[in-house]
């Protein structure tokens, strides 16, 4: 994966993140996680489209060949190489919660991904799946995947700072780097 591709993924993430941040003008997240709207549907669809693209990129980097597939193919590839992705944690400041977007992936489907599929294929009948919570989980998954892809590609972002989603994996200080490595990249000393 090229450096420019990773920067483009990050800039796209920041654009969608800004859209999510704007929703807080109209919906207070705490206690209203199941509120659904067209804006949350848009954020869910945009985030999951990028997530799928990154699944494909990461699997191609793992297997050193172009990988085309479905969610089951991506899941098997990624969890075989990086099983601790299920423990990757982010903080969602506006929501006041810490979440693990890939939690339980090793045990079954991701609930937010399942709801994305429902929204993508039959939005008119299942619009209530376009929730704030699903939008946040999908965007958080994108955030984590960008950092995994960068680590696999041996690329350090010079300076990253998101406004809505935060983690110890982010490099917000040019001198010291991230506070904590991604779960699958920890060394025995840490």
Residues 104-150 pLDDT 10s: 999 999 999 999 999 987 766 678 899 999 999 999 999 999 999 99
Residue 47, both tokens: 């985030």
Where is mean pLDDT largest: 52-61, 119-128, 166-175? 52-61
Q: Say if residues 55 and 25 touch (Cβ distance below 8 Å).
A: no
Residue 124, both tokens: 């008119």
Within 8 A by CB and 6+ apart from 87, the residues are: 100, 103, 183
- Residue 47 CA, distance from chain mean position: 7
Over range 27-37, report the average pLDDT: 89
Q: What is the C-alpha to C-alpha distance for residues 16 and 53, in angstroms, rounded to an integer?
A: 15
Over range 154-177, report the average pLDDT: 73
Within 8 A by CB and 6+ apart from 84, the residues are: 182, 183, 184
Mean of pLDDT over the chain: 88
Strand partners of residue 166: 91
């Amino acid at each position: 994966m090229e450096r420019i591709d990773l920067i483009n993924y990050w800039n796209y993430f920041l654009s969608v993140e800004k859209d999510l941040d704007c929703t807080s003008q109209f919906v207070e997240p705490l206690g209203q996680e199941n509120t659904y709207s067209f804006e949350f549907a848009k954020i869910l669809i945009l985030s999951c489209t990028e997530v799928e693209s990154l699944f494909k990129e990461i699997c191609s980097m793992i297997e050193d060949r172009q990988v085309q597939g479905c969610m089951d193919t991506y899941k098997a590839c990624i969890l075989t190489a990086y099983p601790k992705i299920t423990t990757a944690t982010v903080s969602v400041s506006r929501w006041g919660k810490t979440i693990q977007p890939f939690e339980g992936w090793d045990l079954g489907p991701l609930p937010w991904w399942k709801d994305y599929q429902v929204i993508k294929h039959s939005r008119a009948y299942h619009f209530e799946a376009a929730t704030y919570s699903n939008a946040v989980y999908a965007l958080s998954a994108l955030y984590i995947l960008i950092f995994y892809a960068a680590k696999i590609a041996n690329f350090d972002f010079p300076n990253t700072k998101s406004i809505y989603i935060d983690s110890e994996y982010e490099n917000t200080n040019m001198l010291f780097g991230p506070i904590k490595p991604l779960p699958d990249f920890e060394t025995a000393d840490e």
